[in-house]
Structure 1
Amino acid sequence: MTTVTDESGTVAPVNGGRARERPEDEFEALAAPYRPEILALCYRMLGSIHDAEDLVQETYLRGWRSYDRFEGRASLRTWLYRIATNACLTALEHRARRPLPTGIGAPSSEPEGDLSAVPPEILWLQPLPDSLLAVDASAADPASVVAARAGLRLALVAALQWLPPRQRAVLILRDVLAWRTAEVAQLLGLTDTAVNSLLRRARTRLADVAPDADDVCEPSQAEQREILDRWAKAFVDADIDALMELLTEDAIWEMPPQPMWFQGAEMMRRLLSFRLRQFGRYQRMIPTSANGQPAFAVYRVAADAQAGTLSAGSLQVITFRGNRIAKVSAFRTPSLVGLAGLPLEIEA
């Protein structure tokens, strides 16, 4: 029997020593429904939507080039996961983990200080707009939709970045996507014993760095909508008292790419008072979602904006605890608003 090494690095047999011929468009048609969950996998591994999209492109290019040698011994979905996971593991050999500000130091005590510092050497964790996981319900099966949406909360993805790459892959496949041990072992070319060992170490490490990373109690949808509406109005109106009523006593505010972060009622009041009153009121908050969490695109009058135009300033990702807001991750990168499918400029 003749064998070939496909683009995923897997040695596969070829019937009769010849590659099978298939229509060029067959791979795209069959693989397209899995793209959102492959994107979610790469994002969980890398913590960057831009890097994840690059790795998805690489995965599909490798798959397309190797499809004539695909034997079907595993499902196409499993084959794509193998290619994507191996591509991510290779990429992570040369990349540092992506943190959030809350993951690299103590909270700051000077909310009135210079908040413009951006350390160029740090690559921050990015949010994943839910719009990028939109799937064609008629083309994707329910398992694909669930896999794309599961285990994407910002705290969990941030915690995953603390794990070594192979532990990260095992934990995602086993605990987030609920693959069986034997399936993970086959995908990664490991024994069942090795997979279980990696999983134990990953769970222990995750419990150490973020014991509550994915343990979130949220209000009902109706309650959440009412709280978010109140939050948006108070933020636009610079109503500090109203904002404080919606925050937990130990609430956290972070705003990558700035490295500082703030915690507690006193710091929240000082920070919000300084920012909203010093820099003027924000003019519009458009609701959206990212990482399966409520979010807002925040628009304001920019110094270089045309008259009557508001520019995107940040993407706020909201974390609830009960019926209060426990954390605001305000990503001050306007392009993320565009990735969420919203305009970078709107009419005032």
Structure 2
Amino acid sequence: MACPIHGFRLSQYAVRQVVEKKPANPAEREWLQQARAGDASAFEQLMKPYRKLLHTHCYRMLGSPFDADDALQETLLAAWRGLGSFEARSSLGTWLNSIATRICLRMISRRSRRLTSGDLGAPLRSTAELGEPVQGPVWLEPMPDSELLYGGAANEDPAAILLRREYVGLAFVAMLQHLPGTQRAVLLLREVLGYSAAETADMLGITVASVNSALQRSRQTVRVKTPATGQSRQTQQVDAQGLELLLQSFVSAWERHDLTAMVNLLAEDVRFTMPPLPAWFSGRAFVGKFFAERVFETPWRLHPLRGNGQPGFACYLKQSGDDRFRPGGVVLLSVHDGHIAAIDSFLDPAVCRRFGMRDELH
């Protein structure tokens, strides 16, 4: 069964199965009893299998790994305080997801939604002025793959994991930010985590009719906001060997300042974004112009990384007069039909640190 989210496909219940359908841990009941008695170490053991699941859910809801950190900590604190009231009528994972979702909804009600470059203005045609950085908790931010849950068992069908990967992709998380909080929660609980309408209603404290209505409205918004190609379809169209060759060519062209080679790697409708700068470019001609007139003015070194289920690079640059390469940004790529369809560059030093970039390279 596939979720009817336009542009995105995922077998229903797949993510939930990762945690809730695995064989029960015989120690969980003992940890639960000890935690209820006030044993903090037992509580840590009890929460360990659920941390990444909850963190990923909070990230999807909030669009920022830093906000997701706060939501996760609030969730764990609420679970610790409320453990005595957990009656095991639902699974522990369901109870924790309910807490996390309600905390995220409170945070959403107090904060503006996270934005992408296209939300703030049209793409530029000139590289002369890129604008001043838009500061504050404004931008959609990437999440390192090491912090995300989208994999499964070692013997699981790789195609199933690939399908789940799109539900941590930048395109999907960005699309979610266009939904009101309740619609966002319902869409994720119903069609990503695989809960029934009745379970979702119970978790959110609303009626089944309200859940069904919110789901219908969220699907309508998704049909409007979803890009023509989903991340999973993009990556499926390049095999592992082809993708590796494409990435190697991308690094070589960038570091050698080879404009012809770089342009040949780009899709016709490629985009290049660079928050917190508001500037962005669309189309092979203008992205190529940006590389030629701005990016290639500086020496670079690129080191591979992964975020949001996508390939990318830690980009280090050497400014004039400096003898070291220093963090310039984190870049994540989208690939379609063997070409680079999007270059999403994040210049915030906090994002660079999140992805483990070193302070300097020789």
Distance in 2 between the 1:27 and 1:59 partners?
Answer: 13
**Which of residues 241, 244, 248 is equivalent to 2:267?**
248
How far residue 214 of structure 1 moved from its aligned partner, in angstroms, is 3.0
Specify the alignment match of 1:275 in structure 2.
Answer: 294
Specify the alignment match of 1:221 in structure 2.
Answer: 240
How far residue 210 of structure 1 moved from its aligned partner, in angstroms, is 2.0
The 8 Å contact of residues 47 and 126 in structure 1, kept in 2 or not, is answered as: yes
Distance in 1 between the 2:206 and 2:212 partners?
Answer: 10
The 8 Å contact of residues 247 and 326 in structure 1, kept in 2 or not, is answered as: yes
Letter of the structure 1 residue corresponding to residue 327 of structure 2: A
The 8 Å contact of residues 335 and 344 in structure 1, kept in 2 or not, is answered as: no
Distance in 2 between the 1:115 and 1:157 partners?
Answer: 25
Task: After superposing the two structures, state which structure 1 stretch, 168-177 or 239-248, moved more.
Answer: 168-177
Superposed, 1:102-251 pairs within 5 Å as: 102-111=118-127, 113-115=128-130, 117-120=132-135, 123-133=138-148, 151-212=167-228, 214=230, 216-218=233-235, 219-251=238-270
Specify the alignment match of 2:311 in structure 1.
Answer: 294
Distance in 2 between the 1:97 and 1:33 partners?
Answer: 29
Specify the alignment match of 1:259 in structure 2.
Answer: 278
Q: Which has the higher helix share?
A: 2
How far residue 211 of structure 1 moved from its aligned partner, in angstroms, is 4.6
CA distance 1:174–1:28, change in 2 (3 Å): same
Task: After superposing the two structures, state which structure 1 stretch, 204-213 or 71-80, moved more.
Answer: 204-213
**Which of residues 46, 69, 89 is equivalent to 2:105?**
89
Distance in 1 between the 2:152 and 2:122 partners?
Answer: 44
The 8 Å contact of residues 133 and 277 in structure 2, kept in 1 or not, is answered as: yes
Deviation readout 1:21-64 (Å, 9 max, x if unpaired): 35332222111111111111111111111111111011111111
Q: Normalising to structure 1: TM-score of the pair? A: 0.85
Say whether 1:313 aligns with 2:328.
Answer: yes
Specify the alignment match of 1:12 in structure 2.
Answer: none
Distance in 2 between the 1:182 and 1:75 partners?
Answer: 15
How far residue 150 of structure 1 moved from its aligned partner, in angstroms, is 6.1
The 8 Å contact of residues 129 and 339 in structure 1, kept in 2 or not, is answered as: yes
CA distance 1:332–1:304, change in 2 (3 Å): farther
How far residue 303 of structure 1 moved from its aligned partner, in angstroms, is 5.9
CA distance 1:252–1:263, change in 2 (3 Å): same
**Which of residues 328, 339, 346 is equivalent to 1:331?**
346
**What number of residue pairs does the alignment pair up?**
321
The 8 Å contact of residues 150 and 176 in structure 1, kept in 2 or not, is answered as: no
Deviation readout 1:94-114 (Å, 9 max, x if unpaired): 111111102332211112x12
Distance in 2 between the 1:214 and 1:61 partners?
Answer: 36
Letter of the structure 2 residue corresponding to residue 251 of structure 1: V
Specify the alignment match of 1:71 in structure 2.
Answer: 87
Distance in 1 between the 2:296 and 2:88 partners?
Answer: 62
Distance in 2 between the 1:92 and 1:134 partners?
Answer: 22
Distance in 2 between the 1:136 and 1:247 partners?
Answer: 29
What is the SS of the residue equivalent to 2:251? helix
Superposed, 1:26-65 pairs within 5 Å as: 26-65=42-81
Q: Provide the aligned C-alpha RMSD in A.
A: 2.7
What is the SS of the residue equivalent to 1:345? coil
Letter of the structure 1 residue corresponding to residue 294 of structure 2: R
Q: Normalising to structure 2: TM-score of the pair? A: 0.82
Unaligned runs of 5+ in 1: 1-18
Distance in 2 between the 1:73 and 1:277 partners?
Answer: 60
CA distance 1:221–1:135, change in 2 (3 Å): closer
The 8 Å contact of residues 119 and 258 in structure 1, kept in 2 or not, is answered as: yes
How far residue 328 of structure 1 moved from its aligned partner, in angstroms, is 0.3
Distance in 1 between the 2:111 and 2:228 partners?
Answer: 26
CA distance 1:173–1:303, change in 2 (3 Å): farther
CA distance 1:245–1:211, change in 2 (3 Å): closer
Specify which structure has the bigger relative contact order, considering alpha-carbon pairs within 8 angstroms and separated by 6 or more residues: 2
CA distance 1:31–1:53, change in 2 (3 Å): same
The 8 Å contact of residues 37 and 148 in structure 1, kept in 2 or not, is answered as: no
The 8 Å contact of residues 173 and 184 in structure 1, kept in 2 or not, is answered as: yes
Unaligned runs of 5+ in 2: 1-34
The 8 Å contact of residues 131 and 278 in structure 2, kept in 1 or not, is answered as: no
